[in-house]
Structure 1
Amino acid sequence: MSSTFSMTLLQADSSTDCNITSQTNSPLTKDGEQESQSQNLCDMWRDIQGAHNWNGLLDPMDPILKAEVLRYGNLAKVCYDAFDGESSSIHYGQCKYTKTSLFDKMGMSECGYRATKYIYANTNVLASLFGENAKDKAVWLGFIAVCESEKEIRRLGRRDIVVAWRGTQTTQEWIQDLRDFLIPARLSYKCERTSKEHEAATAIANDGVRIESGFLSCYTSTFSHEDSKGKSFNKSARGLLISEIRRLLNVYKNEIVNLSITFTGHSLGAALATLSAYDVKKLLNANCYNIIPVIVFSFASPRVGNVSFAKNVEDIGLKVLRLVNKGDVVPKVPGVFVNEKMGYLSRWLSWLPWAYFHVGVELCLGKNSSFLLHPNCVAYLHNLDVYLRLLDGYNEDNN
């Protein structure tokens, strides 16, 4: 991965680095507009969630879609704002707030969601060199929340489960970002209904899918975890996510027809959102839950995997809307030399350990630099608040 990308991830993922204050907590400002759009969202939520790959909704951008993407962007922003990144703090690397108080503390008490699970990950590789957490200790990397407000469920047209991931904040995560070579994604899926491994999807590695090493390590590396009874055992971010998704599916098994799972994240968080959404969608399909739509709204996502990964994302029905700031370097890596823009040549070279392909549908922001206060600042162009501000003014920007 390029040094520019590395420094961008280290310096720009934090929403405080460029002293930017988000102005997008209430994306629709005209009187009555939000209420009117809320009445329509319940009728077209499948289109908003990408059932038809957002055809006809992006240029110009549908105001209901814009409001929804902004809403998920603000949920991704919670992962930054609630993270304790002060290295001198005894709670360094953890969330500042409990699950029950998270949205209240973030000023989002009316969002209608309740955090049900925190996601922790072992992101450390050389911790002792930097005085950070020991290798088997975990940092807070995001949360799982479920919509429980009846009013919000009516507005959305379904019950929504959201998974939000944080971007790079620690030195160890920066090192993980540097590990930009592709490796087989060895993930298996147990078919609950037959109590055996699903034959068609026991190992992703069998169909040639490869994932960036650092992203996969963050997602699957184990750490020592202690449950509420004080019992210690090994867990991973993947293990925490999958077990909670299984639990929630069981709780809401009578609402499967009107249930969605939405992933969101920025930068490293966007990469993890894409990877974990792919993982969950494969799991659902293996257990005959393919009726449940799984969607990713990603901000500033780097490339995650190879051409087989991109093809698999499409084949399994995972919907991904990638928001990209035109001047941001992060979405251009890894895969600077071999990527999806090279056409046939890229497929011929797809065996290389640095041959990456983007996934899903891209929405390019920032085409008009008049919306940017610092159009030449690499860190500024990558900042999540800038993305949300550009999205808020997207149609005006295009014109």
Structure 2
Amino acid sequence: MAKKNVNYISAKESRKISKENRKITKEFEAKRNRKHIPEEEYITKMKNPENCVEFDDVHTYFFTDIGTVKAVDGVSFNVPQGKTVGIVGESGCGKSVTSLSMLQLVQRPQGQTVSGEIRFNSGDECVNVVNAPASKMQELRGNKMAMIFQEPMTALNPVFRVGAQIDEVIKLHRPEMSDEEIKNRTIEMLGMVGIANKEGVYSMYPHELSGGMRQRICIAMALACEPKLIVADEPTTALDVTIQAQILDLLRDLKDRINSSIMLITHDLGVVAEMADYVVVMYAGRVVEKGTAREIFKDPRHPYTIGLMKSKPVVGQKVDELYSIPGSVPNPVNMPDYCYFKDRCDMCMECCNGEFPDEYYISDTHMVRCYRCKEEGERHE
């Protein structure tokens, strides 16, 4: 008998899945679109008031016609106030979806944050972003939390001048300011992000600017209202090395100046080593290791983190070929409950065939989800 192709799905099965998923997403949308959502549903308390954000067992799924994609599957970590947390991992591991969940920008109705809490300390109150209504998110987005998007050319509107686009953000969250004050604030922001011809650039369209300039415009827009949290989604990906260094210096300088926290999402381990105070390593929608930057870089414990470290070039060290982790990220549709990395892992043991490993703490701040650390680490329920 021929073995069934697990990657094949019939039209009948697809229709059945689609029908079930529409029912699920309809329930989520009905709950989210209620006219009057009571405050007690989304106003909460931080576990630690020193944190700016607390991700607590967050699950964000995409309900597709071929199954449920668990893009973020039980992610937990904190962003302390005034600190930078670097989130690393290869493409498709859930970094960007985690950040989009933070700002409630996941594409609905297919994409839904189905459970968990994202507690955001706005200074005045603590908001659980997962349950917050759209009106509350409009108050927070751009004002208390802001995002620097990955591709500035798609983040900026091509038919409006860049000055007008930054003006709009300030006008929305600072209605008491006059048009003249708003324009002066925008020009001040353009100067703050290192644009020399700020009055000229104020009147330009996005296509008239270089990639580095457009990225600076996105940063100016994100920082216009001095947010408490800056989510930087690969802010230096499309830039050359000299511009990258300038953008990172700029982010660090502005973070210190307005005392905000940064969630830095990147593939570049060099950027993380330079910028981050804490590092979160993600793989296939889960956090597999987290700790201070020193702990992760000096003493990586998870085989995936070790593989990432081996794959980066080292100055002064000659190698014929850079190391690459064999295999690829597993299909995220309907993932079974086992260590997702075991099929690519060269340190795999017999016990790795069991359930997904628990969190084992090597120190107070260093957590690893790997059976290799079971003896040494302390298990946290």
Give the TM-score category using the shorter length: 0.3 to 0.5
More helix by share: 1
Which TM-score applies when normalising by structure 2? Answer: 0.32
Which TM-score applies when normalising by structure 1? Answer: 0.31
Computing the radius of gyration from Cα coordinates, the structure with the larger value is: 2
